[in-house]
Structure 1
């Protein structure tokens, strides 16, 4: 993971991955590889087998509890612009670009299928929550309706719905089609890592070690630890426990920098946190997967 992320950063530095080419890679990962991975993970599964009431409750508890903890930790600290970013980046996980591809590359099909459902459910909650937090703290005049409309047309959610629908109806997917989609899905992790590496920027003048460390501690340490406690307490099955803990152990999503740019917040601080949590999570995820595996 670290090698591919650094390769993406290096290719951007020498001009190979400029904005146009990085945009094309992002589109390939987001609109082709990731939806293919999600569909192949869920098209032969039943919704009831993947999503239990305990798992659903646990996902919501972990997400909102981490957001509330971030609010308490960061309240009345720094400027509004920096505080809003610190809160958002303490809970907003990189579930699509890193979480699901990493789970698919590491665990079996059952865990991957559950991780796909987790991606869909948590995305439906964390994206609107992030928009509300940024708008509320910054008193931003943003087009919230347009941002929320984009959620409804999200290809990740569309592929999840399609895969679960095929699984519930019992439609047979031809083996050649399944094999082709499986091959495309295998590209999700390397493409995502390259794009993340090409998108990372370190703005040294904006470095605030204390603020960034608090975000890192909440995102890649407190959140997966809380997930492990909550899912264990609720008694979810081992596959769901594994998928949930690893997905919540992912770094801050790159999209939080995009939302900060569009809606309001400290852009330099947002970019720094994405960079640091991504690099730090490579080590933390190795430990987490070893423990949970």
Structure 2
């Protein structure tokens, strides 16, 4: 019993602070302390400035020659690709409307690692876990964007006039990817920033997670939750339960435990990224379904991630 209570206490210390801030965002929006304009401006600031700064500092301050594990990046990319093809098959069975299958697929695999995942890693492993989490984030962002376009285009080819050039430019100009690329030479050659720039960057990066989590909470739509469909519930089950369990089990089977297994689980179990809604709308897909999936997975992940972290601690795998 003591071991059980210890595991539960350790779990809540990791997950509770993150989700408390998310639900504070919901309350602040209800109380009109936050509005849509604030959420748009703050989200832009996080995406373009504070989160890239956090990622840059995390990578640049570590020695990539000693800490980089290419196997982890390869595994995360491989299981994401495998899950993508499994979801194509699942969508044909679970989603009756062909045009909605791309939204289902994207919502089932595209996680919010940049905010929820990073926040949970920071809570569980502190600064020691952030360099690997940042490298993994940069790798998955590229893969997620490519697979999302494929899913949305193939499910409604008459609306796929967006083409590949804008997607390629979005990837090249993505602030998070640029921050990873810029940080790699600093990490490899062990360059250090001037103290003034380092302290300024530390101030910016410190804003990232609380501000972003508040914005996620303020963006949640209770109307979307009430309007949830079978397709949105199916994508939620895939994103929060089936895929994280299979992917984490595969990582454990290959011999990863401790920090590496913990980071992989937290990334695989993260709720659907809000960017999936933006891309679905941009490509003329079912935006309401995409919003439902984001809302359901964000709320549901408070339970599933907490349970997952609890069992990993209880089994002494992390």
TM (norm. structure 1) is: 0.91
Q: Structure 1 regions of 5+ residues with no counterpart?
A: none
The alignment status of 1:198 with 2:218, answered yes or no, reads yes
Structure 2 residue corresponding to 1:38, chosen from 51, 55, 60: 55
The alignment status of 1:207 with 2:228, answered yes or no, reads yes
The alignment status of 1:174 with 2:194, answered yes or no, reads yes
- Partners of 2:208 and 2:311 in 1: CA distance: 24
Pair 238,211 (structure 1): closer, same or farther in 2 beyond 3 Å: same
Q: Structure 2 regions of 5+ residues with no counterpart?
A: 1-17, 313-317
Contact 1:62 1:226 in 2 (8 A): no
The alignment status of 1:137 with 2:166, answered yes or no, reads no
Comparing 117-126 and 107-116, the one that deviates more: 107-116
* Deviation at residue 89 of structure 1 after TM alignment: 0.6
Comparing 37-46 and 231-240, the one that deviates more: 231-240
Which residue of structure 1 aligns with residue 250 of structure 2? 230
SS of the aligned residue for 1:171 comes to coil
- Partners of 1:131 and 1:246 in 2: CA distance: 24
- Partners of 1:33 and 1:11 in 2: CA distance: 22
Pair 53,160 (structure 1): closer, same or farther in 2 beyond 3 Å: closer
* Deviation at residue 120 of structure 1 after TM alignment: 0.3
SS of the aligned residue for 1:187 comes to helix
- Partners of 1:159 and 1:75 in 2: CA distance: 38
Within-5 A mapping of 1:97-116: 97-116=115-134
TM (norm. structure 2) is: 0.84
SS of the aligned residue for 2:270 comes to coil
Deviation readout 1:234-262 (Å, 9 max, x if unpaired): 33463322212211110001011111101
**Superposition misfits of 4+ residues, deviation over 6 angstroms:** none
Within-5 A mapping of 1:11-90: 11-76=28-93, 77-90=95-108
Query: How much is the aligned-residue C-alpha RMSD, in angstroms?
Result: 2.1
* Deviation at residue 143 of structure 1 after TM alignment: 2.0
